[in-house]
Amino acid sequence: MKRKSLRSLLMTVVMIVALLNSVSATYPQQPSQQPPGDNCQYFPETGHRVCGAFLDFYTTRGGSEIFGFPISKTFNDPVRGLEVQYFQRARMESHPYNPDPYKVLLGLLADELGYSFPPASQKQIPASNNVFHHHFTETGHVVSYAFLDYFREKGGLDIFGYPRSEFMCEDGYIVQYFQRARMEWHPEDTSSSQMRLTNLGEIYIERFNIPEEYLRPEPSSETLGGSQPSPSEPSITKLNISASVRYAITGREGVQTVFVYVNDQQHRSVKGAEVKMTVHY
Residue-wise pLDDT tens digits, 16-73: 333 333 334 445 555 434 445 569 999 999 999 999 999 999 999 999 999 999 999 9
pLDDT band at 174 (very low <50, low <70, confident <90, very high): very high
Closest by alpha carbon to 203, among 168, 241, 167?
241
Do residues 166 and 124 touch, judged by C-beta distance below 8 A? yes
pLDDT higher than threshold 80 for residue 113: yes
**Percent of the chain at pLDDT exceeding 70:** 76
The pLDDT score that the predictor gives to residue 94 is 97
Counting beta carbons within 10 angstroms of the beta carbon of residue 246, is it exposed (0 to 12), middle (13 to 18) or buried (19 or more)? middle
The pLDDT score that the predictor gives to residue 213 is 93
**Residues 48/212/107/45 CA torsion (nearest 10 deg):** -30
pLDDT higher than threshold 70 for residue 103: yes
Residue-wise pLDDT tens digits, 212-232: 999 999 888 655 544 444 444
Between 14 and 77, name the one with better pLDDT: 77
Q: Which region holds residue 209: left if phi is over 0, alpha if psi is between -120 and 50, else beta?
A: left
pLDDT band at 13 (very low <50, low <70, confident <90, very high): very low
The pLDDT score that the predictor gives to residue 99 is 95
Predicted structure pTM score: 0.70
pLDDT higher than threshold 80 for residue 131: yes
Residue 180 belongs to what H/E stretch?
none
Burial 62-86, CB ≥16 within 10 A → b, else e: beeebbbbbbbbbbebeeeebbbbb
DSSP secondary structure code for residue 140 in this structure: T
DSSP secondary structure code for residue 122 in this structure: G
Do residues 46 and 265 touch, judged by C-beta distance below 8 A? yes
The pLDDT score that the predictor gives to residue 96 is 94
Backbone angles phi, psi at 94, to 5 degrees: -90, 125
Average of per-residue pLDDT values in the chain = 82
DSSP secondary structure code for residue 123 in this structure: G
Cα–Cα distances in angstroms (integers) from residue 166 to residues 119, 121, 157, 170, 251, in the given order: 8, 10, 16, 12, 23
Range with top average pLDDT, 115-124, 159-168, 254-263? 159-168
The pLDDT score that the predictor gives to residue 63 is 96
Residue 91 CA to residue 72 CA, distance in Å, equals 10
Residue 67 belongs to what H/E stretch?
helix 63-67
The pLDDT score that the predictor gives to residue 105 is 98
